[in-house]
Structure 1
Amino acid sequence: MSTQTPQRPASPGLRMGRPFGIPVYVSPTWLIVAAFITYTFQPVVANSLPGRGTLTTYLVAFVFAVFLYVSVLLHELAHCVMARYFGLPVRRITLYLLGGVSEIEREPETPAREFLVAFVGPLLSLGLAGIGFAASMVIPEQTILHVLVWQLWFSNAIVGVFNLLPGLPLDGGRMLRAGVWKLTRNPITGTAAAAWFGRGLAVALVVGTLGLSLLPGQEPDWGSLLWSVLLASFIWVGASQSLQVAKVRARMPQLQARTLARRAIPVTPEVPLAEAMRRAREAQAGAMVVVDHDGHPTAIVNEAAVAATPEHRRPWVTVGSLSRTLEPSLVLPADLAGESLIDAMREAPSGEYLLVERGGDVYGVLVTADVNRVFSGV
């Protein structure tokens, strides 16, 4: 159940360790599903271990829940190790209510790499399932060891098979995306196709489970229906987010710093705001850059601070008091475009950035609000 979502809350849960140098967190929501799995799986354990006490069977059922999440962790680690092999940065792994998320901060550059990063997770899960199944054939039945080994291969089989379903955000969806990307040579088309398959899969999962429970002579299985609704919700939301990402990426070609830049006028820090605004109107400029007396830029006047200053105070407020010091991260090359521009802005969030030519000359000011308008309505 893997997605690539680079932006997550700073504290996703309890940190469990750093296998292969990758931080692993467990969300508190895991306790909810662990309790649910323990409760629903206990009757299965009781049938497999006749004569065992209720406490023992609940304990073994809880171990199954732990095995399931260990399987998910190994699955996600496979994605991350393969991603690192291709030079992709990995932020962390988070185990949560319905599985796990590998936060891979950049997408693979080719369809083949996309396919391999996605496929290695289910491949590992199914490989572990095969090993566990073979081991369970030689271990005596109706023993705790047999039940635990059976749980191990069964949990990995669940993780592997489920993630091969062809729809985003599942790994099968990423593999489908890679295939469509290869055929069309367009990753956005691949994302859209795999996301719509994901939505269809979510609907089919609920309708199919509901249809089976309504067959003549069948008692409604409310537990299975609840699981199908939860899983379908996970798939639908993930697919919808992928469609949103595809729409954003489709507008990336419009994102060019030069095109979006505002003309800026230089002002010294002691100039009153009212006077600076008058000069900007005369020059038909949309931004103001604070310079020292040698003409070197030192700060950018903050547009939000200007708008928040009442008109009657503007003759008495200097532009220097409404400006942000120009840190190196706020000075960007004027030829930045697309994802490179977004990455540079993400590294140093600000309302304005100074754009400079290769030789260091000021080209203009890039305002974050202007960038956001490119994606308005997506």
Structure 2
Amino acid sequence: MSTPARRPGPSHGWRIGSLAGTPVYLGRSWPLIAALIVVVFGPNLARADRGPAYGYLLAGGYAVLLLVSVLVHEAAHALAAQWRGHPVSRIVADVWGGHTVYDATRSSPGTTALVAVVGPLSNLLLAALVWGVHALTTNETALTLLGIVAVANLLVGLFNLLPGLPLDGGQIVSALVWRATGSKGRGLVAAGWLGRVVAVLTVAWFALRPLVEGRSPDVFDIVWPVAIAFFLWQGATAAVRAGHIHEVTSGLATDVLEPVVLVAGGTTTVSDVEGTVARGVHVAAAD
């Protein structure tokens, strides 16, 4: 995902490095997801013969490797944007995964789709590489950790390819509609509505899965998918509204206003998007 370019500041989190001149930040919200991973996965990874701390240490290792996976995903977005001539302001890993901020004012349907698709493709490639290392490993702890990371990257890659905003697959749909109709706004509206469908199906899938497996849903089965669906619905709704605004403004003043493509990021509110449109700032979500 990406957001309007702003001057880097403390709100972005802790700077942990740079990529091709682009600062990389660890968002202050990221420790929350790391702690959740340790608490949820720790007991499931525990081994009676390894001591009580073993499962939690393994879960902590998984959280770190998941962070690396997120940064690989965002790095792919950033490098693709730079390759297509768009300055990248920053890469941030946060509680929702991460986002890449780049100036997409002069973007095109092809560039939008390219920048979007390389993120999930990088996760699928990483899943294959990690699984290859897994096949060559004999250490039991490494086997467990590598197996989890490989599956996680596979799921992240496939999930991000679902055809609805604010996911990368939604960016691709938006770009395809934009190319077919010549209207950026129509692309956003179509991909935004599909994003709402994806949000509803996400909750339905996670709610019904325990019943299919013959067990009662636990708190994690309910809270986590609802949180994900809320994020998806919020981003999809912002995209739909931004698309309608774009259609109206471009129709009223095509000779004055610069065309704008807007895709809400994971933490972008509807009011933020509408305000951004009014300022003529372009936002292209990639995650």
* Deviations 1:166-204 (CA, angstroms, capped at 9, x unpaired): 110110111111222222222211111001100111111
2:19 counterpart residue number:
19
CA distance in 2 between partners of 1:176 and 1:253 (Å): 22
User: Does residue 164 of structure 1 match 2:161?
Assistant: yes
Higher relative contact order (CA 8 A, sep 6+): 2
Task: Deviation per CA, 1:32-68: give whole Å up to 9, x if none.
Answer: 111111111113322xx56212212211101101111
Superposed CA offset, 1:341-367 (max 9, x none): 9xxxxxxxxxxxxxxxxxxxxxxxxxx
CA distance in 2 between counterparts of 1:111 and 1:17 reads 31
Structure 2 residue 102 is the aligned partner of structure 1 residue 183 = no
Distance in 2 (alpha carbons) for counterparts of 1:187 and 1:119: 18
Distance 1:179 1:373 in 2: 26
Change (3 A) 1:18 1:35: same
Matches within 5 A, 1:262-341: 337-339=256-258
- The structure-2 alpha-carbon separation of the partners of 1:57 and 1:160, relative to structure 1 and needing over 3 Å to count, comes to same
One-letter amino acid of the counterpart of residue 115, structure 2: V
SS in 2 for 1:54: coil
Say which one has the larger Rg: 1
Alpha-carbon distance between aligned partners in 2 of 1:217 and 1:160, rounded to the nearest angstrom: 28
Give, in whole Å, the separation in 2 of the partners of 1:53 and 1:4.
45
CA 1:169–1:8 in structure 2 vs 1: closer, same or farther (change >3 Å)? farther
The residue number in structure 1 matching 2:86 is 88
Residue 131 of structure 2 is matched in structure 1 by 133
More strand by share: 1
Would the aligned equivalents of 2:41 and 2:55 in 1 still touch at CA under 8 Å?
Answer: no
The DSSP-based 3-state class of the residue aligned with 1:71 is: helix
Say if 2:245 is the partner of 1:248: yes
Is the Cα–Cα contact under 8 Å of residues 170 and 195 in structure 2 kept in the other structure? Answer: yes
Q: Name the CA distance, whole Å, in 2 between partners of 1:3 and 1:224.
A: 29
| CA distance in structure 2 between the partners assigned to 1:249 and 1:173 by the alignment | 17
TM-score of the two chains, using structure 1 as the length reference: 0.64
**Equivalent position SS for 1:37:** helix
Distance between the aligned counterparts of 1:8 and 1:226, measured in 2? 35
Deviations 1:196-222 (A, max 9, x none): 100111111112322334559421132
Partner of 1:307: none
The 1:234/1:340 distance shift into structure 2, 3 A limit, reads closer
**3-state DSSP class of the match of 1:236?**
helix
Separation of aligned partners in 1, 2:213 and 2:154? 30
Partner of residue 174 from structure 1, selected from 168, 171, 176: 171
CA contact (8 A) 2:250 2:259 kept: no
Query: Which amino acid counterpart does residue 27 of structure 1 have in structure 2?
Result: G
Moved more, 233-242 or 103-112: 103-112
Q: Residue 281 of structure 1 aligns with which residue?
A: none
Deviations 1:133-181 (A, max 9, x none): 122122125x222223223322322321221111101101111112222
Contact 2:18 2:24 in 1 (8 A): yes
Task: Give the match for residue 266 of structure 2.
Answer: none
Contact residue 120 and residue 161 of structure 2 kept, 8 A: yes
Contact 1:132 1:152 in 2 (8 A): yes
AA matched with 1:84: Q
From 165, 174, 199, the equivalent of 2:196 is 199
Which whole-Å CA distance do the structure 1 matches of 2:26 and 2:246 have between them?
Answer: 31
Of residues 65, 69, 72, the one that matches 2:70 is 72
Unaligned runs of 5+ in 2: 261-276, 281-287
How far apart, CA to CA, are the structure 1 residues paired with 2:184 and 2:145? 42
Q: CA deviation at 1:72?
A: 0.7
Q: Which amino acid aligns with 1:153?
A: A
The number of aligned residues is 262
Give the equivalent residue in structure 1 for 2:122. Answer: 124
Aligned-residue Cα RMSD (Å) equals 2.6
Question: How far off is 1:109 after superposition?
Answer: 2.9
More helix per residue: 1 or 2?
2
Is contact 1:71-1:155 (8 Å) kept? no
Partner Cα separation in structure 2 for residue 373 and residue 53 of structure 1: 57
Q: Distance in 2 between matches of 1:158 and 1:340?
A: 35
Task: Measure, in 1, the Cα distance between the counterparts of 2:106 and 2:116.
Answer: 10
Is residue 107–residue 114 contact of structure 1 (8 Å, CA) maintained in 2?
no
Structure 1: which 5+ runs fail to align?
257-335, 342-370
Identity %: 36
User: Which TM-score applies when normalising by structure 2?
Assistant: 0.82
**CA 1:12–1:62 in structure 2 vs 1: closer, same or farther (change >3 Å)?**
same
Q: Distance in 1 between matches of 2:209 and 2:106?
A: 40
